[in-house]
Structure 1
């Protein structure tokens, strides 16, 4: 992001596993999926439903992306 001039507050990340922890913490808006590990949910700014329950869609609607 820094190489192409995107500010951190303009980045949204979605994750569910501990491998996503650094990404969730870095992004301006870190979204944990409903089935995410507890540590990831704690680090996230928002927790949405699971993927199978349209969690990404619901979070995008909530934050005015769609």
Structure 2
């Protein structure tokens, strides 16, 4: 499961997921809880990651 978060309410979800992404504009606590980073949610950060996953070009390994 791939999850994305940018706020304090996302921290537990980010900790539980296998592939967790903190958005570029996320605070430090959110970044610490996530395993990976994504671009800004003010642009197409989520879409960029999903596109790479679907093309088997995921920007991460576990």
- Identify whether the pair has TM-score above 0.5, normalized to the shorter chain: yes
Moved over 2 A (4+): none
Matched, 1:25 2:18: no
The number of equivalent residue pairs is 55
The separation in 2 between residues aligned to 1:36 and 1:51, in whole angstroms, is 9
Q: TM-score, normalised by structure 2?
A: 0.77
The residue number in structure 1 matching 2:33 is 43
Q: How far has the Cα of 1:45 moved from its partner?
A: 1.1
Q: Which has the larger radius of gyration?
A: 1
Higher share in helix = 1
Q: Does residue 61 in structure 1 map to residue 51 in structure 2?
A: yes
2: distance between equivalents of 1:28 and 1:40? 15
* Aligned-residue CA RMSD (Å): 1.3
Q: TM-score by structure 1 length?
A: 0.73
2:5 to 9, 12, 15: 15
Gaps of 5+ in 1: 1-10
